[in-house]
Amino acid sequence: MKKILSILYCLLFINPVFASSVYKELNLSRDSEAHANKQLYEFIQKDLNMSPEQLKELANIDINTIKALEVDLNDDGVNEIIGIVYSTLYWGTSGYSLFILQKKSDIYDNLAYMINLEPQKAICVLNKKTNGYRNIIIFGSSTYKFLPFVLKYENKHYINFKQIKSLEETINAY
């Protein structure tokens, strides 16, 4: 009964808060954009200094193992790329490594540092900003529980700012 009441409370009172606070919702298990996939693939290839053949043979990475989407995180008119690579090279006990790529001149820089997520969960890009970049909520895994984390932009990278443990923290993150 307590669980049912909790679900009803979230549906009735929290969803409206989320709806007005979310800039864009991303789902990397369901959606991707060809241009973003290509950019992330090329970033991985350059970062690992491997040919497409080596990536496929050694890490089972090709364009089809990448899911990425574009979103402008800092309102500069240039989309950043948020994505994951479905490969054991980028998977651990807390999920898949998240990439947040920002174009600088003609190269991309990864703004995500040691961030893991469960790709079957939505990524919420928020209206609220830290240091000029939108905050992001992702779901990571801890002892097989999906826990939300707030990512904030600090020192030129997105970091796991805080694991959300309560309803009040969730509301304050927005």
Instruction: Give the residue carrying structure tokens 């990448």.
Output: 66
Percent of the chain with pLDDT over 70: 74
Res 60: pLDDT: 93
Res 10: pLDDT: 43
pLDDT exceeds cutoff 80 at 20: no
Res 147: pLDDT: 65
Helix (H, G, I), strand (E, B) or coil at 106: coil
Q: What is the pLDDT of residues 70-96, one digit of tens each?
A: 999 999 999 999 999 989 888 876 678
The dihedral sign for the CA sequence 69, 108, 40, 90 = negative
Tokens of 170: 């969730």
Res 4: pLDDT: 44
When mean pLDDT is compared across 61-65, 76-80, 122-126, 170-174, the lowest value belongs to 170-174
| Cα–Cα dist 164/8, whole Å | 19
42, amino acid identity: E
Confidence of residue 172 (pLDDT cuts 50, 70, 90): low
| Cα–Cα dist 83/35, whole Å | 12
Q: Quick one: average pLDDT of 50-64?
A: 95
Instruction: Give the residue carrying structure tokens 């796991």.
Output: 160
Inter-CA distances, 65 with 3, 10, 38, 82, 98, Å:
37, 34, 11, 14, 14
64, 52 contact by CB (below 8 A): no
* Beta pairing class for 116-117 and 107-110: unpaired
Res 137: pLDDT: 86
pLDDT, averaged across the chain = 80
- Nearest alpha-carbon partner for 112 in 91, 76, 81: 81
